[in-house]
A = this chain, B = another copy of it.
């Protein structure tokens, strides 16, 4: 299994589970010659959403559906001419995935999407970003009726529900299936002639539409439209299903409408800074978060340094707002190497050193503000602080571009169990003591809402975003997890 290579704006210490991971990215295209090449490029641009494995399915009239699914990077698996020649056709979809905490290291290739099913009226392939919160119950019911599951993925339920639907067309069967499903889903699917995109009624995960020549593309993020030179048209709406053929696009809203609750963490961390969300680049939003943070939690210091790379835009914002010079006090080694053998002599913070090095000559004697995107378990923050102090910094002030992460996500993000989250067991004060820094401040939930464009902050009675990881308020009951013993927030908390 290949080591996960974090994206530029990705994680620094994911081997210890100290980062949240988006689980998936989806991409599809129709109406272009050699669709697989476009899908490969799109997935490459979405690699930060899932680094463990990827797959592409295409369809061409003479050879039917073709599928290649592999562990590892898109750049390694979908670039050689031999492989790409196995994926002919003008229509294709793809998926990149990150394994969830539970199955890490056990993922079989059969868990890698897109999934394919042969139905009486023809085949269909689907790629799913999100998480089905009632998958266990659905699976039990389907096995009882004679379905044979091939994977441990919750997404496979959708294919089996479709196989058992009494509808006549694949889009109709997909509607049928998705009405039984609870949770978050942004889906890209295909039949022999159709490219299909669907988003759950809350619209938790992103999905966008682009135009490429006479064809169309669907993607988790706009950055994947850029790489293929497609024009960004619009976001698929929460609860919308669109079916694209060579005749054009049909849009329907098959689900009971709900108030949308887009994942606010996509702004903070998951999406690429060059993607556009809500009409603004994610980079700008993050810079705004940094500015907001500088207003909420100012401190006197000599330098503002990002924890690279994910803290960079917020650190720039903090510097611009505060007037304190921005500097790269921590340098990131892009070559990775988490599995080096630790020399017998004691090397402190070995794991972090492989990826980060403090700019010692720069830091010495300075009061340093470190800006990071979030604190999950706190292990990395602690090591970074030590490295900074070892290098001779006079003061270390942490500023975090998100509120305390106190609750796990059940909608398609890989989070540790609740008791492993630092903020689940400590107050901000206690965390500061635990990390032994001169000060530690998180942006407020209201501040975050303001930075993402809600000028009046969070509407507590009807929050505009899904912020369950901060607030503990889950817009969809996580049924499977409750069955497994998860205790949701009580009124008292």
Contacts and interface: CB of A to CB of B under 8 A. Distances in A.
A312 B340 CA distance: 29
A152 to B, nearest CB: 10
Interface in A269-299: 272-274, 276, 279-281, 283-284, 287
B143 A337 contact: no
Interface string A250-263: 00000000000000
A382 interface: no
B44 A335 contact: yes
Interface string A181-213: 000000000000000000000000000000011
Most chain B CB within 10 A, of A10, A73, A340, is at A340
Q: How many copies does the complex hold?
A: 4
A361 B148 contact: no
A327 interface: yes
B353 A7 contact: no
B228 A347 contact: yes
A382 to B, nearest CB: 17
Contacts of A164: 146
A145 to B, nearest CB: 8
Interface string A300-326: 000000000000110010001000011
A147 B146 contact: yes
Interface of A: 3, 5-10, 32-34, 37-38, 40-41, 44-45, 47-48, 73-75, 78-81, 84, 109-110, 117-120, 143-150, 159-160, 163-164, 212-213, 223, 226-229, 272-274, 276, 279-281, 283-284, 287, 312-313, 316, 320, 325-328, 331-337, 339-348, 353-354, 357-362
7 contacts: A7-B334, A45-B333, A47-B333, A74-B335, A148-B163, A281-B359, A281-B362
